[in-house]
Every structure is written in structure tokens, then in C-alpha cells.
Structure 1
Amino acid sequence: MANPWAKNPWFETVHEAQRRAKKRLPKSVYSSLVAGTQAGITLKDNTDAFSELGFAPVVVGSQADREFSTTVMGQEISFPVMISPTGVQAVDPDGEVAVARAAAARGTAMGLSSFASHPIEEVTAVNDKVFFQIYWLGTRDEILARAHRAKEAGAKGLIVTTDWVFNVGRDWGSPEIPEKVDFQALLKLAPEIAVKPRYALDWIRGGKVEIPDLTAPNLVHKGEQGPTFFGAYGQWMGTPPPTWDDLQWLREQWDGPFMVKGITRLDDAKRAVDIGASAISVSNHGGNNLDGTPATIRLLGPIAREVGGQVDVLLDGGIRRGSDVAKALALGARAVMIGRAYLWGLGANGQAGVENVLDLMRMGLDGVVMGLGHKSVHDLSRDDLIIPDDFERTFGDG
């Protein structure tokens, strides 16, 4: 089946990327890209909160040339948007490798999930700015072995994700994901796939059908068969959650940049600094964690003011356009990490779709920096924003 967007593959907004991904992907696959938890309160607030912030424009004196480059955990990136780690990117045959190529083409870094469907060696081969994401899964020795493999593969840093409560039930239903994609699973999914022929054809290469991989090859030693996604998830559920002593231990074992992802409290931000973290991500797992947690953009300012001079502070959650990036930077973020936005781009048009999303982020950011009269993204500050009195949230400061 011909690509309906072959004559105009470019999309103008992330919303259009989402629409095209929904049109192309089987229902279960697409549903996994919009998943939240429980009633989706946090999922909705993550995006809606940005609309409560306004800009204070400068109409005369805009800078003709503007600068966007920055550094995150010691890595230079062309603009302050990087790829957040997300697991099992089976929306496209090349999955994480396609995303890594897109990020490299736009000069930015990528977080690679422990639950990625492609080995880290394939990803670092096409992008030399990869941070490997660790879940606290298994024994300390097993966790350390994964970190060592990542280091040997060329990973520049670790991202330790802490924001997860193993509750993914949604009031509007959750997609059924098979334990593994075998003949029985394909038969069950056949009605969905039959009405999405373009998706099915994308998995045919050299006259053979490539079955989407739902295993986690980065949880084992290089070259070994990884567990199924659900097998790994079960092991993760059975592992006691990490303590700050555990994170301190891992930080001491890893001699490179180290990010703690999932920070929403001031006291946790301070503890991350105390254990020697290089960076923190203000994140609620994209609304997939504890429903009712405030939007991350509401929490960012107080946390950045508290620890921004000691670690790189990043924002993860709800970024859909370049103006969102600008608001995060103005509130103290060094950069942002995007998740759903690039996955919709991947689902809509593969690697080119991810590049498209990154281009939209940069273009939108450029327009804001120009409209505020600045020369550089580093000039953005709270003075550029109109912030309602009750906008920000702070907790954990007692």
C-alpha cells in the first residue's frame, strides 16, 4: 500500500504526528503510546499546565542570529532537547536505532531504556551521545553488569529511573500486549493488523516478515538471549525498590555522569546532590506513575532554584512544542527530554518522523527566543514569563 503522505511527508505539528501515527499503527500499538495511569490526571496536567504560562514579548530589538547549543552531563548538544528513554519501540522495525540516527542527525543525545528492543551496541554505533537508563532490577551484581556493558558499548552516562509504582491500569482501558509475538499472538492481532497494511508492509524485508521483538536484550550479557518484556517486568516487580544507599553505591561504581530521573520533591533533589549525581530529571514518568502528581513544569522552578547551581536540572513531561521547551528553560531547566512526541514521529514516519519532531522543537524554540529579544537560550529567565500566583507546587521541603 502506498504511503498516503508520500508527496508531503513533513508534518507541521506534533499533534499531526500523533494523528498520522494513530492512522498508521494497529490499535494496540498506538494505545501504548498514549498510556497514562488511573484517571490520567497527571497525564493531562503535564500538557495543560504549559498553557497557564504566558510570555512577555520584546517587539523591537530582536537578535538576528540566535544560539541554541548547550551541554548535558558533559555532552555538547546542538539545542536543549534530548531523547527520553522509552522501552520496546516496536512502532518501527528499526526502533531505537532509527531514533538514535535521528538524534545524531540533529546533533543531540539519546537516553536508551534497559527495556529497549535493540542492543545498546547497535545504538551507540550510530550515535555517540547515548546515556543508558537503568531500572533497579535484579541483584546489585546484575545491575552493575548491565552498567559495565553500557560503558564498554560507549555509553556516556547513566540514567537511573526511580519514578514507577507498577500500576498501569487506566480508567479508559489499557492495551493488551502479548507476552511474545508468536504465531498465536499474531493470529489474535490479525484483525488490527489487517486494517493497517502499511504497518504490516514495513516489517517485510527481503521478502521475509520480521517479527517485532518484544524482548529486552540489554538486561543480559552481550550476545545472550534477552528475557521477554513481561518476564523482565516481572523480575523488576519482584526486586525491592532501591534506597538512597543503593543509589549511592551505584554512583560510586560508575565513574561517569549520573542522572537520577523521577525527582519531584525538594528533599529528593537534595539527596541526589548528596550522592554525587551529575543531573536530575524532574519527571513523573510522563503521567505513567502515581496519578495525581502535579505536572512537572509546576515543580521545576522551586527545584531548579534549590539545586540548579549544583547539578544539571532537566524536565521530562508534557513537552509538545518549542514554546514548551522555552518555558522549561526559563524556569531553570538546562534541557528537556521528550518521550511521546518523538514516538509519535517514529510511528508516523520512522527516522524521518523523529527528525521532523526535533526540527519542530527547534523551530518553535527559535521563534520564542527571537520574540523575547534574546541572543541565546541561556538568556531565558523567569522575567520572560507571566506566571500565575498559584502556578508552582512545592513539597518535600519540611
Structure 2
Amino acid sequence: MFGNPWFETVAEAQRRAKKRLPYAVYGALLAGSERGATVADNVGAFAELGFAPRVAGHHAVRDLSTTVLGMPTAMPVLISPTGVQAVHPDAEVAVARAAAGHNVIMGLSSFASRTVEEVVAANPNTAFQLYWSGDRDTIVQRMERARTAGCKALILTLDWSFSHGRDWGSPTIPDRIGLRTMLRMAPDVLPHPRWLWRFVRAGRLPDLTTPNMRQPGGGVPTFFGAYGEWMQTPPPSWADIGWLAKEWGGPFLLKGVGRVDDARRAVDAGVTALSVSNHGGNNLDTTPATIRLLPPIAEAVGDQIEVLLDGGIRRGGDVAKALALGAHAVLIGRAHLWGLAANGQAGVANVLDIMRGGLDSAVLGLGHASAGELGPDDLVIPDGFTRTAGAAAR
């Protein structure tokens, strides 16, 4: 590899990912729907919040550790489950190893390209993510496979309606990688020899299958095969969510909450955690940034369940701001994928170091001994920053 493989910011990891990945692969990471307003607000809203640092009484040692979904973690940053990771041949296994090396919880997508068994072997503190896809028997079969593999928590993702339109254009993603596909995509791939060489050296092609979506007695579906099953499955009711939480019987996170009334119904359904999420802006565009929606949700249910946040986290200071506004922890998605693209497992570890360093600096400057002490008084919050969706009071 040319130059210094280490990078100082997630923005630099993104620049390297853009340079090294074929357009179709990098474009898939950008995600975002329609005009991309939600993607932009997810990131930009954090810059509207200011810190209110203290000048004396700082602590020489800070504690960033906590427990999330029943699992201890060195810091309140989790790996968000993301689908097929064709940015690197080691994919989710590399991410899981980096997270384990930092004592960080791994979230594994059911649309992942590596099996749940491989990932749990790399990181025992893994939470398995399900979409509501297939009939109840199929869902239970996938859940039980995750339990048998050793997953310690379940994540149900419901904040995805798969909007196709992007004002800047959507990349072409093939269903399978074969000779014809390789020839068609050669003009995009050949200018990125280092990305291609990684797969050649590993002895495999980019994997677009979803082994964790296998049906009993069936083969391994492609991403679009799994997506087709999801499209044909009737959306779940609150009763369905309650049923699944009971079937799992352990730490259960509902991902995709943006309304106060939905947060309260999630508590009633028996979930133990929720994530304020808009699927990274890849859902309904113009949904407000999750950090704007967090405070009223945390105020409504934060004393009953763990409230997490994902969307727009690019630095440790963002983590600190989310914690100050009521999040118990955050999940990172694009950030770790850019690190993976930039430098494999070491790149993911690099991103986690960036998150930890930035969070520790914020806790130090704000005069706290632990990340758990962060609160609204540590921030300068502009008028009108918060958005409330759903009924604010019972």
C-alpha cells in the first residue's frame, strides 16, 4: 500500500474509499433517497450543536465504558448492521474482529455476506439483525440460528421502505457476479486495481449472496432475492413485534423509531431497547435528523428502556452530543464501512480509535469523569433545534 495507511478522520477514510472503490460500490455506500435531504441533515445537525466546556476541575482519567443490550462495551459505540459488504473480501468478519479488538459490540445484518457463525466466532458480543421477511416459521428459524451461533441480542429493523430514486443517480448493482457481469463492469472496476487485487489475493469474487437469509431446505439467496422476499412479506403489526420480542426472550432492539408515540408503543410491546433511526437517510427523504428527534423520545421512554441513536455519526464529538441529549449509545454505519474500504480490518479499528479519541476529548473538556455524566447542560442548543414527531404527551 502506498503512503501512510493510518488516517486521522472519518472524512479522510471516506476520501480514500471514494478513490479506491468502483463507482457502483462506493455509490451503494452513499445510500440516501430522493434529494438526500435527510442524509445531509443527519450529518449537518450535529454541527448546529455547540459544546460548553469547563475551564478547571478536569479528570485525569475518564471512563467511557458501559453496558448495552446486556453486553459490556469499552465505549457507547456499536457497529450498526449493514448489508452485503463488497468493499473488502473479509467483509463483516474483518469488522467483527476490529470491534472485538476494541471491546465493541458487533451488529450483524441478516443481509450480510458472511455467516452469523463466522462473525460470532470473530466477536462473541454480536447482536443479530432481522428484517420482517418471510412467514413466522422462517423468521423463527433465522432467529434460532442466531441464538445457536451465540448471538446475545436481536435487532429488528423496520425503518426501511427502499426508495429507489436518487437525484444524483443510483449505481447499478448486479444480482450475481459472473463472467458477463465482470465484462460489463470492467470499465468501472479496472481503474481501481487495489480493490480488485484484494479479492484476487483472497481467491474470491465480491459476494452478493445473503447466507443468513437461507430458508429451510433452500439455497442461499442473492441480495435481490432476499429483497424480493421482504417485498412480498406483509409489514408487521405491533402485535407481531411483541410476539417476536417474546420469542427471542432476551435483549431486543427495535431500530427505526422516530416518533414519541411509536417509542411508547415499543415499550408496551416488550422491547428492551430502541434506536432513533431513519436508516441513514435511505428511507423517506426529508425525515428530520435523528439527533433532532432524540430528546423528546429519550425524555418519554429513556427511564424504561435503552434509547440508542444512529445516523450522521462521523466523529467522537458527535457521540458525546448524542449522549448529552439522552442516548445511551450510538451505532455507526457508513463510518466503519469507509474504514473497511480504506484499510480493511485495520481501517475499521482506525475509525473506532477516532471515535474513542474524540469522545474522550469531549468528556475531558466538559469536566466529567465518565461518558455517562454527559447531559444537556454540556451543550449550546439553538432555539428550534429539536423536532417532535408523534404525540408528545399521553
Q: 2:166 matched to 1:187?
A: no
- Alignment of structure 1 residues 383-394 onto 2, 5 Å: 383-394=377-388
Separation in 2 of the partners of 1:395 and 1:194? 47
How many residues align? The count is 392
Note closer, same or farther for the CA distance 1:185–1:368 as it changes in structure 2 (3 Å cut): same
Q: 2:136 matched to 1:140?
A: yes
- 1:321 aligned to which of 301, 315, 323: 315
Separation in 2 of the partners of 1:397 and 1:267? 5
> Contact 1:106–1:358 (CA<8 Å) still a contact in 2?
yes
Which residue pairs with 1:245 in the alignment?
A: 239
> Contact 2:162–2:282 (CA<8 Å) still a contact in 1?
no
Separation in 1 of the partners of 2:190 and 2:248? 47
Separation in 2 of the partners of 1:26 and 1:168? 20
Note closer, same or farther for the CA distance 1:132–1:222 as it changes in structure 2 (3 Å cut): farther
Instruction: Give deviations 1:40-77, integer Å, cap 9, x for gaps.
Output: 01000000000110111101111100000001111000
Q: CA deviation at 1:168?
A: 2.7
> Contact 2:138–2:215 (CA<8 Å) still a contact in 1?
no
- 1:15 aligned to which of 11, 16, 24: 11
Instruction: Give deviations 1:229-263, integer Å, cap 9, x for gaps.
Output: 11111111111111101111111111111010000
Which residue pairs with 1:149 in the alignment?
A: 145
> Contact 1:149–1:222 (CA<8 Å) still a contact in 2?
no
Separation in 2 of the partners of 1:67 and 1:163? 32
Unaligned 5+ segments in structure 2 are none
Instruction: Give deviations 1:322-352, integer Å, cap 9, x for gaps.
Output: 0000000000101100000000000000000
Which residue pairs with 2:326 in the alignment?
A: 332
Q: CA deviation at 1:205?
A: 3.0
> Contact 1:18–1:344 (CA<8 Å) still a contact in 2?
yes
SS at match of 2:122: coil
SS at match of 1:160: strand
Separation in 2 of the partners of 1:81 and 1:395? 25
Instruction: Give deviations 1:7-44, integer Å, cap 9, x for gaps.
Output: x1110000000001111111111111112000001000
Q: 2:278 matched to 1:280?
A: no
Q: What letter matches 1:295 in structure 2?
A: A
Separation in 2 of the partners of 1:291 and 1:339? 18
Q: CA deviation at 1:166?
A: 2.4
- 1:229 aligned to which of 204, 223, 226: 223
Instruction: Give deviations 1:96-115, integer Å, cap 9, x for gaps.
Output: 00000000001010110010
Percent identity over the alignment is 62
Q: What letter matches 2:138 in structure 1?
A: E
Q: 2:141 matched to 1:158?
A: no
SS at match of 1:133: strand
Separation in 1 of the partners of 2:362 and 2:322? 12
Which residue pairs with 1:4 in the alignment?
A: 2
Q: CA deviation at 1:307?
A: 0.4
Which residue pairs with 1:296 in the alignment?
A: 290
SS at match of 2:166: coil
> Contact 1:130–1:155 (CA<8 Å) still a contact in 2?
yes
- Alignment of structure 1 residues 87-166 onto 2, 5 Å: 87-166=83-162
Displacement over 6 Å in runs of 4+: none
Q: What letter matches 2:64 in structure 1?
A: F
Q: 2:302 matched to 1:343?
A: no
Q: CA RMSD in A?
A: 1.1
Separation in 2 of the partners of 1:62 and 1:256? 38
SS at match of 2:189: helix
Separation in 2 of the partners of 1:99 and 1:384? 32
TM-score normalised by length of structure 2 = 0.98
Q: Which moved more, 1:47-56 or 1:163-172?
A: 163-172
> Contact 1:168–1:288 (CA<8 Å) still a contact in 2?
no
Q: 2:80 matched to 1:84?
A: yes
Which residue pairs with 1:212 in the alignment?
A: 206
Q: Which moved more, 1:332-341 or 1:163-172?
A: 163-172
Separation in 2 of the partners of 1:284 and 1:377? 25
Which residue pairs with 2:166 in the alignment?
A: 170
Q: CA deviation at 1:221?
A: 5.5
Note closer, same or farther for the CA distance 1:297–1:191 as it changes in structure 2 (3 Å cut): same
Q: CA deviation at 1:93?
A: 0.2
Which residue pairs with 2:23 in the alignment?
A: 27
Separation in 1 of the partners of 2:352 and 2:36? 26
Q: What letter matches 1:192 in structure 2?
A: D
SS at match of 1:12: coil
> Contact 2:21–2:192 (CA<8 Å) still a contact in 1?
yes
- 2:33 aligned to which of 32, 37, 43: 37
